[in-house]
Structure formats: C-alpha cells, structure tokens
Structure 1
Amino acid sequence: MVNHPISVLLVTSESELRHHLYSVLEEVGQFQIKGCATGREAIEKLEKYPIQILYSDMRLNDFSAVALSEQVQRKYPDITILIGAAKGTAGDVIAAMQAGATDFILDPFENDLVWEAFQKAARDIAVREGSQPVRTRNDKTFITQDVALLGTLEIARKVAPSTASILITGESGTGKELLAAFIHAHSQRSSEPYVAINCAALPEQLAESELFGHEKGAFTGAISRKIGKFESAGKGTLVLDEITEMALPLQAKLLRALQEREIVRVGSNRSISIEARVIAISNRMMKEAMASGNFREDLYYRLNVIPLTIPPLRERKNDIPLMAEAFLKRFSSQNGKKMDRISGGAMDLLMRQNWPGNVRELENTIERGVLIGGGETLLPEDLILDTGPKDMSATVTPAMGMTVREMEKQLITNTLQSVNDNRTHAAKMLGISIRTLRNKLNEYKEEIETVK
C-alpha cells in the first residue's frame, strides 16, 4: 500500500492564521503544505499543483469560501474541502456544506478542532486511495514516574485488547486524548482507523449526520452520501471527546447504537452493523452532569465499563522536571536553538506553580521560554507564567438598574478581552463549556442585529 504525504492548500487572508495552521499540521510531517491569501491565487495554484485538501477561511479578501468551494467542486470534484471561521453561524455551516465542504471548523485557532478535521479528511483520502492509515497527532508517549498515573497506564494496557467501552475523565490538559491514543496503540485494532470527534464542536443541526452519516437528499444541503464517524472508524477506535456536551436527543441515538451495535444513516431506514470500539472522554464530573439532567444515566453506565482517570499535574509534581526537560529538548530542536538545560531558579518556579492548565500549560510555558531565551540555559526571566485567573467579578461594576443578563454579558466580554479572545481559556475561567460560551455569544450577536 502507498504511504505518501497528503497535499494541502491553505487559503486565508490572515497571515497569523496561516502560520498557525502550518504549525499544527507540520507537527508530524504527514502533510505537504502550500498557502495563499486569496481565492484567485488558490485557483492558480490548483492549476499548477495536485492538491488533495483545500482549507479556506469563510471570508477572503476577494470572494467568499462558498464561491471558491463551488468553483473547486465543479473543476476538481476529488478535492476535499474544509472551511473555517472564528465566528461562524448555523447559516455559514449550511452554506459551506451545500457548496461541497466536508467539514466546518468553528474555531480555526483551536488546535484540536483543526487537527480533528484534517485527520478525518486525510483518513478518508487514505481509505479512497488504499494507503496507510494517517498517524494521529497524539502519537507520543507518556512522560511520567507518578505511581497513580503509572497504575492508570497499566490498567489501560491490560484492557486495551478487549472490546469494552472506556470512559476517560480528568481536567483539561492532563492528556486524556493521549491516553485514548495509547489504548488504541496497545489494542488489536492498532492497524485500524483511529477516529476522534469533539462533541462540543458539533453544530446541532449536523451532529447526527457527523456521527452516523446521511444519504443524498436527506436534508437541504445533503448533495451526496456522507459516511459518518462510526463507519469511518470501521474496526478501529472511535473517540468521543467532551461527551457531556452531546445534545440529549443524540445521546439517545448513541445509546441505541452501542446497545444494538448498529446505526442508521440520516435519511435511510437500513441498519448498518458497526464494529468500532468506543472511548468517551470528559473533563467534567459525569455524575454532576447526570444530576443536572444534561447526561443520560443509562448512557453513562453503557460507556463506563472501564473507568480511567488521569490525575492533574498539581498532584504529580514529581513529573514536572521530567516533562520540562523533554519539552525543552523538543522545542530547542524544532526552533534551531542550543538551549539544553533548565536553571535551578527556573525549575524552582516551575515546581511552585499550580498548573491549572496541566501538562498543556507546562508545555506552552517551556515553548515560550525557548523562544524568548537567548542562551544555552532556560532562566527564570525567560518564563512567562500564568499567575492564575484574575478576579473578573472585580471588573464588573453593577450599575443601578443593570440586569443579571447585562452583568453576565459584561463578565463574558471582559473575560474574553483578558485572554485575547481565546474562547477555550475564557470558558475554563468562567467555569462553562465552550458550547455554552459560543451559544451566549451568538445570543448577544442576535440581540445587536435585532436592535439594528
């Protein structure tokens, strides 16, 4: 079977976004990437180069991604089209799908969403061409000497060959996705597809189609048959990230799929057998979600056959030196630096941190330090440490007559401003899900448009 890089064309007028997408996709070298700023340039490049995946920002300087997609679909029907927008609406998603896009990335600055969309596109191409399965972004090993985490890994290794459903819980940034990939790698399914989907990023109108697929003509915009995640996973592993964010009606259909081991595509009445092993991931307390009525109890017990929990970094601080050294080595190599050690003062600072963002926060801190530092040693002054969430309530001053809703809006706005519009970070600080934050912002936008 053939195994070659997949050619990608990134079309976005924002150079910052283009560089961000480059950095995410270049991480494992699976993609051969070209970029341009306009739709016209994209069409010119498509005439010169054999492109397999086209990513376009929803709004370009010369014309829209929808118009570009329509042109590309007519002339190059085999190209997989992905469209992204930082502030996409339900109308944008539907227009993109009608124009031929196979996926819509609601926040192209969110690494996991970008990788998930490109991974699925690459896997579909691999299946179509009969090539090797695409490597996952999580194709790394755990760096740990912590007794609790080593125990979790040992259990994961033992249950990996089974067909049992697994539920992984833990705080954001602890490595839950990495554990899912670890289980897949140690299972008898390791040569089969590894498909991951973020339930919080699923547009509600298209969620069922994404999971189970649809037939041509099943709904407006369904211009061809679509294979869903369950079918794409085949005999491999299907990872359902942020499972508690799945809408209740879809939870009922997922429960039936797991019980009956079969699915029905939207717009069809024919059952299709499924063989994929399901791993669910959540950074919330599942029992709280059930108590609040946001998650089905019967689905919880169906998924929770093998429960695995990853402890937060603050509970395994003896791992910090190991990980910091490994990250230093990796980022020094990637950036052509000669930095090869961490000073005692810098390590002292790292050890004293509480790390609310866990391993992901530590990794980002070391990367920044490598880029900022100039010598062979990482020094305390090279570290930009997050001192923790600010007391945002202090920045919301209630005025006479201000409603609770107005205060909520001001709190969300202030929080987004404090983290440079990073929605993932803002949602974490506010104690809400990304989907809830997105819904709130859409509500505020609709109110503004109504007033206009």
Structure 2
Amino acid sequence: MEMISVLLLVNDFALRNHLRRYFDGNEMLRAVFCSDAKHVLELQGSHCHPIVFLDLVPENSDRMGLIEKIKHGVPQPYVLIGSSNCTPHDVLRSMQAGASDFVIDPFDADLIETAFKKAIQSVSSMTASPPSSHKSKQLITQDKSLLQVIEIAKKVAPSTATVLITGESGTGKELLAAYIHANSLRADSPYIAINCAALPEQLAESELFGHEKGAFTGAISKKIGKLEDAGRGTLVLDEITEMALPLQAKLLRAIQEREVVRLGSNRPVPVDARFVAISNRNLKHAVANKVFREDLYFRLSVIPLTIPPLRERKNDIPLLANYFFERFSRINRTTMTRVSDDTMNYLIDQAWPGNVRELENTIERGVLIGSGNELLPEHLRLESEPEVLPHRPRLEVGMTVRNMEKELIYNTLNAVQDNRTHAAKMLGISIRTLRNKLNEYRTEMEGKI
C-alpha cells in the first residue's frame, strides 16, 4: 500500500517529539511537520495531504479558522485535532469547523494508533470511490466561485437529478463529473464517459442504445448499449452538442421514459443510470441555432453547473502551478525544488486559452526541459516552434467567399494558439464542422503539391 502523507502543525515540543517517534516506526504514514498556519495552507495548497493533524492551542482562536480553510479544499482532508488542555466547548467548536476526530492528552501510543488507524480507514474509503481513470487527478482550487460550484455539486451528488456541466475546454469538466459520481450513492457502480464527437455517425445509435443480432448488416451478435451498460452508475455524455439531432430525440425519450429500445427490437429495456452532460459550448446558443433540441436542453439542465475559465480565477494559478510542479518533479526525479517568483508572475500574466490543461502541459514541459534548482521563465518557452498551419491567403479584392472563410478560420486558430475547441466556439460552428473544413483544406494543399 502507498504511504499516506500527514501534515502536522504541533507547537508543543513534547508532543512533537512523541509524534516523531510514532511516525518513525509507522510504515503506512509519512509525516510532514509545519511551522505555522501559513505554512500549513501553502503545503496543503501545493499538494493535498489526505490527513492533517493540528495541535489545538486554547489561547489561539485562529485554529478554528484554519480548520475551515483546510476543509474548503477538494478533495477534503481528514482533520485530526489533538490537545493537552481544552474544554468540551473547544471540542465541539473544532468538530463544527470540520474536524473529523479529537485526541486528548495523555497521548499514549495506543490512543495515537487508534486515532490514525481510523483516519487511514476513512481516507482509504474516500480514495477508492472515484473512477480509476480519475484517481490521480484532483479538483484543486481556492477560487470562491469554483468552490461554490463544487459545493453545489456535492449537495446534489446523492440525488438522481440530471446535471449539465459547461465551461471552456481544459477547465476540468470531466473531473467535476467524476467528483459527482464519487460523492453519489452510485460510487460503487460503473462510471461510463462517452465522447459524443468521437462517435462514428453510422454506429452512434448502436453504441448508445445497443442492437439485436441481425439488426443490420454486420450485426453478427447482440450488443448492449452504453445507456444499458451503465446499470445504476453514472453516464457522462461529453461534447453533447455534437450529437446528431435524430439521436438527440432518442436520448430525450430514454431520459424521460427511463428505458431504451435496442435496434432490431421492439422490447423496451429499463435504464437506471444517472445522466451527466458536458459541453464547452453555450447550449442556449446551440438551441437558437437549431443544432440542439430545446426540450433535451431543458431535460439535461436540471442542475446546471458552469466552471469559470482560468483567466477569471487568477488566484488559482499559483496553487495549480505548484501542484503540477511538485507532481512532475517527483515523477521525473528532477533536481528542481521550487517555481521562481519571475516564473510565477509570468504564469499569472498569461491568458491561458487552454485553461488548466494548458497550464499543466506548460509546467510539465518546463520541468522536462529545465535544469538547476528553480523553474525559470525560459524553461517554459520553446525557442523555435514548428509552423503548424499551412500558408494562408491574404484578403484581397476578387477573393472567393470560400477563401475568405478559410482565411477567417486560420486567423481564428492562430489567435487561440491552434485550440480547435476554442476556435469553433468563437466561429459559432461545431468542432466536427471545423475538423471537416481543415481536412478539406489539407486535401486541397496535398493535391497542389
């Protein structure tokens, strides 16, 4: 079993030595001692420690506020309070602030061991619930608006209500969907995510709803569709706006009636999955442009959640940058120990059209390319970047409408650093349409060579 890190803030000298001896003989826990409350928040922000131990000092009222700040993180750590001199009122206040357990002096070995065993069991049960593909990823934020979104997500997670998650590409929409699943009553059931834009048009209906043997040419056996396969779990429909209109009609009926009919069959099959839809486009605009059904939009948006872009939560950039830096430094075993102040200022000043995903990729590149003890601004920028796009025509009199369209598309892609999802949103077209246009242009170029 991987060691669990414990963050400790202990002012009492005797207790600190007592705990050091305990951790030296423990093969499951790794201790990280802090000097003050600010140090606790910095370390917890850069790397979420599953267990936090705080020595409660009665004359220090800041401890309650510290507990509340720690519990605002995602995922929430297990907070263990220890005290050698406190009242029942102190115990009650710490529990109301978010503490999970309380240890009172004398701090004998059995008492400490029992408390940390309970903490380990609690942490292990929490980390086992998210889908396996998301175990290594976390929702990390200190932004008030995003914390409010996460709080709503946590409240509605145990329900069966359909959730619609919107936001720009790279903001962490799938992570929020996984978080909802992990905090629901369906956490032990399947978590199935479907990229609607990647579904082949000819096979999309069969993939979602299934088919019977002989339903069409090539259907040599019965196939269970994703909606049925999800069972009592969570079905995530990513890039929902890319789904064809006829398929949207069938999905609407499946959600309303809680049943599907496989291709080649007339017998309905019950569906018990919880639906979470994801889109990087404005669905109201998609409805107005007649590319998305209004009735399906209302059916999906029972609980609408929007993740703000990274440029609107600048205070998250240092938190995320330190988290990614520590992770990639550890994975790649580099000699770097910190992100320089100049680098952090450079990161904060960027627009990040690719949001958290772009920031993560930038930090990983810097850790791999850089050297020395600090991550510097020059480590993040490549001196020469390959030309991604072919030569573009310039606007001039007599240019065809098609060439003008091509010019507009290429200029938009350049403006968003070749982020196709962002470009499609700005152009008011689907990502599939943009992809098809670029394929056409590429074919034309190859034909001229």
Distance in 2 between the 1:321 and 1:448 partners? 43
Contact 1:171-1:312 within 8 A present in 2 as well: yes
For the Cα contact (< 8 Å) 2:238–2:278, is it kept in 1? Answer: yes
Q: Does 1:236 align with 2:233?
A: yes
Q: CA deviation at 1:396?
A: 3.0
1:201 aligns with 2:213: no
User: Any idea what SS the aligned residue of 1:140 has?
Assistant: coil
Q: Find out whether 1:140 has 2:151 as its counterpart.
A: no
Q: In the alignment, which residue of structure 1 is the partner of 2:332? A: 335
Identify which of 267, 272, 275 aligns with 2:272. 275
Change (3 A) 1:327 1:428: farther
1:300 to 297, 302, 305: 297
Equivalent-residue separation in structure 2 for 1:169 and 1:417 (angstroms) = 24
Counterpart in the other structure of 2:317: 320
Aligned to 2:215: 218
Indicate whether 1:180 and 2:177 are aligned.
yes
Q: 1:96-175 counterparts in 2 under 5 A? A: 135-137=132-134, 139-175=136-172
Distance, in Å, in 2 between the alignment partners of 1:434 and 1:401 is 29
1:450–1:341 Cα change, 3 Å: closer
Q: Residues 431 and 156 from structure 1, CA distance in 2 versus in 1: closer, same or farther, beyond 3 angstroms? A: same
Greater Rg by CA: 2
Partner of 1:367: 364
| CA shift for structure 1 position 431 | 5.7
- Which amino acid in the other structure matches residue 381 of structure 1? E
Aligned partners of 1:139 and 1:181 also within 8 Å = no
1:353 aligns with 2:350: yes
Deviations 1:211-268 (CA, angstroms, capped at 9, x unpaired): 1111222222222222211112111000001111111111110000011000011121
Q: How does 1:21-170 map to 2 (within 5 A)?
A: 135-137=132-134, 139-170=136-167
Give the superposition deviation at 1:406: 3.0
- CA deviation after TM superposition for structure 1 residue 157, in Å: 0.5
User: Counterpart of 1:239 in 2: which secondary structure?
Assistant: strand
Does residue 396 of the first structure (1) align with residue 423 of the second (2)?
A: no
- Give 1:92's aligned residue: none
SS of match in other structure, 1:278: strand
3-state SS, counterpart of residue 269 of structure 2: strand
Contact 1:345 1:379 in 2 (8 A): yes
Residue deviations 1:156-211, cap 9 Å, x none? Answer: 11100000000111111111000000000000101100000111111211111111
- Tell me how far apart the structure 1 counterparts of residues 157 and 130 of structure 2 sit (CA, whole Å): 19
1:285 Cα offset (Å)? 1.0
Task: Please state how far the C-alpha of 1:436 moved relative to its aligned partner.
Answer: 0.9
Contact 2:353 2:422 in 1 (8 A): no
Unaligned runs of 5+ in 1: 1-131
2:191 partner letter: Y
**What SS does the aligned partner of 1:280 have?**
strand
Partner of 2:59: none
Structure-1 separation of matches of 2:226 and 2:219: 16
Which residue of structure 2 lines up, in the alignment, with residue 288 of structure 1?
Answer: 285
Distance in 1 of aligned mates of 2:288 and 2:382:
36
User: Letter of the aligned partner of 1:344 in structure 2?
Assistant: D
Residue 381 of structure 1: how far off its partner (Å): 1.0
Structure 1 residues 272 and 374 mapped into 2: Cα distance closer, same or farther (>3 Å)? Answer: same
TM-score by length of 1: 0.64
Aligned to 1:106: none
Aligned length: 316
1:252 counterpart residue number: 249
2:130/2:179 contact within 8 Å kept? no
The CA deviation at 1:137 is 3.5
Deviating above 4 A after TM superposition, structure 1's stretches of 4 or more consecutive aligned residues are 410-431, 441-451
Asked whether the equivalents of residues 262 and 274 of structure 1 are also in contact (C-alpha less than 8 Å), the reply is yes
State the 1:340 CA deviation. 2.1
- Do the aligned partners of 2:131 and 2:178 also contact (CA within 8 Å) in 1? no
Kindly report the root-mean-square deviation, in angstroms, between the aligned alpha carbons of the 2 structures.
3.2
